[in-house]
A and B are shown apart, each in its own frame.
Chain A
């Protein structure tokens, strides 16, 4: 093995892949078979980058040669950079050896488009096939599908990969036209629809015949870049909602645009990465998926932007003061989940614990409720509760004042969910 050459390739092709933010390795049910290597059921982050992102998969491009010229992408044809390409075997060896040392959960393989879509996709599928069939590898494999690749290849990809993704790139068709003139949205939506159909059909088969092969057991996901084009949060979340609903997507990833290229169609090179906004979008996404919120409750035409100061759940609460206060000792879980400062876990604990007796402030605190927020919105077994008839705006002021010093310091760092 030529160590220097491999090192250089790895540096180039990992660097080019890192802007794709999806890293999840969860949601699959692949088990270790016949005393082989690995399983894909845990979703472990094995390390964290210095910017605090999870490192779970070996995330690389097969090559950064590309015939397309998408404005936002470092690998675009017109960008003057070093190019490199792995062989199929090189990717297989890296994956296996990293996996055996417990560095990674598996592989996330993507690629620039060389020659044409099918030619590229075929190589990606070959890597996955080799790992599964020759190396008895049961770790996680995420393949990015190349828009325009044939159904046959997509189907084969699904047999070996745990997850497939087609990146929408831009939240709207107009945004895509502007920045990725070679791509068209329909060419992205078609494979998504194909995969959805295929996944549903295979899952049905699997129910009838235990032996039927798995097909992309971790489903499909997509990524949209935010902040490169002028779409507002409402448009972005409506798009996400549409794809969750109609294409059964497992995840939509929001990637704050990192200015890497000078181009008059793009934000300037010194623009900050919209990290707070990105975080608010993830929070809103969680509200839709786990907290029972409808997208219109979070953003709508009157309220097209997420508040950057406060999280979207608190935002909803102060716009809907008529729904509060909630008595945590009798309210149903749906409503308790809507209380700012109460997370999924503490909501469940409240429901369990109150069967043994009504809960008071100390107990709620011990259970994990963030009282500095929740206190404005709930009552419990206690005579002391917020009796002033506060407006939403006032509450926001109080909460912000209380967390001000903390917040200002953390402004760039807030990535926790609630």
Chain B
């Protein structure tokens, strides 16, 4: 077993794949730098990210997979789910070693795992599209705070841009401390410094006057549409897991 340590970037992961083939390694364990290892006797290779090698691997992959297949690999990595590196590398190796396109080979555990990650990412993306609640700030920006399980913010651009084209908005991931800002023309990633006294969620003072009114009306609406004789808490919680409640206007 050889342990490879990389810097956590996508290029780093692709460079690691390059090394695996170059050194003809078979049993490997790829880890992000900083992850503690328990094994004692093993070879360790520090992968130094190399854009040239990375793009050679990527080009090779493009010959073996459809554009969609390549994108899946990228999204799986972007998810930042811990310790998925080996499954992603497993998928890439399976793609290289097989004689044909393996994207639908669900009998293979790596292919299946990548498709599970896609399902998880898609679900989280959908949840954000559904559960984001904007508050209108005095400068007319609509502001929302999120804490998604996985890193889905980049996947949200298209949806929110095409929906809210005529208002300024900002979506801020407070778990990963970066956000997305749309200024009526472009969207850009931003990261903000919050002082100790003020956190990213603490914006009431900058809300517009009608903000409170519409929050109040929405909460009322939510109460009114409930049918008490059909109450079904289990189903309710399955649809909106409790960890999302703290950012949902109607649940606070």
Contacts and interface: CB of A to CB of B under 8 A. Distances in A.
Nearest to A364: B107
Nearest to A31: B162
Interface of B, secondary structure class, is: helix
A37 B167 contact: yes
Interface in A250-309: 258-259, 272-273, 275
Nearest to A33: B165
A412 B135 CA distance: 37
Given A32-B162, A356-B107, A98 B218 contact: yes
Nearest to A51: B230
Interface in B77-118: 102, 104-109, 112
A413 interface: yes
Contacts of B249: 101, 103
A35 B165 contact: yes
A172 interface: no
Interface in A7-61: 7, 10-11, 14-15, 17-19, 31-32, 35-39, 42, 44-55, 58-59
Interface residues of A, number: 61
Contact of B104 (A101, A355, A359): A355
B189 interface: no
A23 to B, nearest CB: 10
Interface residues of B, number: 55
A415 B214 CA distance: 32
Interface stretch (B10-18, B19-27, B219-227): B219-227
A196 to B, nearest CB: 30
Contacts of B233: 50
B107 A359 contact: yes
Contacts, number: 161
B134 A18 contact: no
Contact of B165 (A32, A49, A413): A32
Nearest to A44: B130
A49 B250 CA distance: 10
B106 A352 contact: yes
A366 interface: yes
B232 A51 contact: yes
Nearest to A272: B229
B230 A10 contact: no
A206 to B, nearest CB: 21
A208 interface: no
B226 A51 contact: yes
B202 interface: no
A15 B107 contact: no
Interface in B194-252: 210, 213-214, 216-218, 220-236, 238-240, 248-250
Contacts of A390: none
A73 interface: no
25 contacts: A1-B210, A10-B221, A18-B225, A39-B163, A45-B239, A46-B131, A48-B235, A49-B222, A49-B226, A50-B226, A50-B236, A51-B232, A52-B232, A58-B221, A100-B134, A100-B164, A136-B166, A258-B229, A275-B230, A349-B106, A353-B104, A359-B107, A366-B106, A366-B109, A415-B235
Interface of B: 102, 104-109, 112, 126, 129-136, 142, 144, 159, 162-167, 210, 213-214, 216-218, 220-236, 238-240, 248-250
A-B complex: 8 closest residue pairs judged by Cβ atoms: A52-B235, A352-B104, A51-B230, A353-B106, A14-B224, A48-B239, A356-B105, A35-B165
